[in-house]
Chain A
């Protein structure tokens, strides 16, 4: 009996990278890192490290046989700093020792002399100094400047969102095994086995075929292991390559916090113009992304901010620009939502402020501006099967939101020191990598002689249930029990050039490839069965419940029998199929095109209760209507929605990343950086929009990983409303997260500057 992943997890029997058995004599590597945020390296003295008993070797950039370069998007990321350091925590040398403890202590003893240089940590300062990762990009439609004249109300302001630590439970880790002929097998906790393989090969000066990267599963990724697992895998690989020993790296929590980047903090200026009815006529926003010191994935994240700046609304005149600013923080990176949440928050801030000026609830403005079928996004794509209004209306009626608002008003009138607030968040999120070339995937499928099936693809399992879904798709195609189908580890020798498991596309891309591979084998089996059954028409043959059926009736051929016959008759029982999402294009010279296969829509209401004496609050409930197409697995998708929401709530409320003036992370452990716990998590009511179809999706399903995170944005505005119920003159400053400190200071500030 094959246990499903969840069953293995329940017994603690599932293996993560750090759980793999490794022989006695496995070595550990740990980096010596920069102790300053920016400076010129004058001297690296590795000698003191050798004073530690158990140290085997120390490597610096000089020991890199290939190219000292691990950046996949932009060639600006060295594995080991050589001439300059650009953030505190940047790796400079690698210490290999008998144990991780020794490697850590020895790494701390490496002496680096620097000529310290001024560092910058915030995006606007970097922008003023011209420190950009790439030039400013601008998306637009209509004529914003002309449109202001026709507006009845114009509101301007600025908004800020903070960083967010991924806090995947499993920290970054990898283990490298030397193979013959200079080869390496690397087990890495990465969302991007292909990118990791490419970087290892580049650094070691090896062809990619010499490097095998294998991923069984991750203990959470959330984007934090898309690019940032690479460096650690390369460190283990470099040491293993030189020493011809098995080498492990496994970060402790505080190290993971300090050495890796986070969700990008954003600042933005906005200007919004509306007519008397609340219709938004024009919207302008300029985003400043704090990229950290290195490009990493900042440019594509910035691009997605531009794609989602208009969220779920139709705005006829729009002009949004964004610039990625180079600062001296660890490189910020992908995190569920990938720049989308930051942009959506700004528009919601603008709407909230405009609603204030109009004396209406923000939901009035939200509702009248919802995107409708056939309208065009400002980047040229047409909204098809647009569910924005359907989700909004369903949420309104199912959850009786107007009635709920009245009840909250009554509650607030009756309670002096407790106030409630409710805010609504519609979402629209585009599905596909915005870098069009990444929208491809391969699957390798074997049917074995005993009728069992093996599927390899590029999808990395990290709790999102992608392997469950893909196994299900293959079993449905073959009409066989799911028990027969095994989805293998993600391995670069079986799948070449795989895209990272990211952008919510894991199931869509890899599931389509697996489905096509299964269909290819199925067709061969159908042809064989049709001949075997006396030359019947192949179109009459189906596979159901492990039987070959003709016109819906079981024949004498079972799945097992047919597979045996196929083998004996020399029919190919393996297939390798490539899938590329059709009809995608985007012209970056015009910033127009069709970058997404489809969009996911939804609408959520978040309700909070504020303790106005202490500034504490509770998120009471999140009620959601979500457009999920026809879900492949309701429980998996429900879990994705619930989990995404709580991460979004955390980002908006208690998760606060703090650095000191020298660029040192202050919130570098779980005691200082709090993520939501059981008590924080609200009641979540998820309703899937009924009878939704999605022809471009995998069997009419929709991707589900990222979109729900953005429902959490409503928490900020619900808290604003609750504060307002206590102190009506208060004006929010639109600087998330809304920590209990900010709440209390808002409730009791002496002056109320009219922002």
Chain B
């Protein structure tokens, strides 16, 4: 996974990398669920 690979470049231990990645991914998923029903941005790339 690219984010994990990127984090690993900073010389952190594997355990720290996994914890940081898990927190970031969990936050992203929670935010996605939180804003799930917001109206879409006004672009129609799926309709061209």
Please indicate whether A and B come from the same complex rather than being unrelated chains: no
Question: Measuring CB to CB, which residues of chain A are less than 8 angstroms from any residue of chain B?
Answer: none
Q: Could you list which residues of chain B lie within 8 angstroms of chain A, going by C-beta atoms? A: none
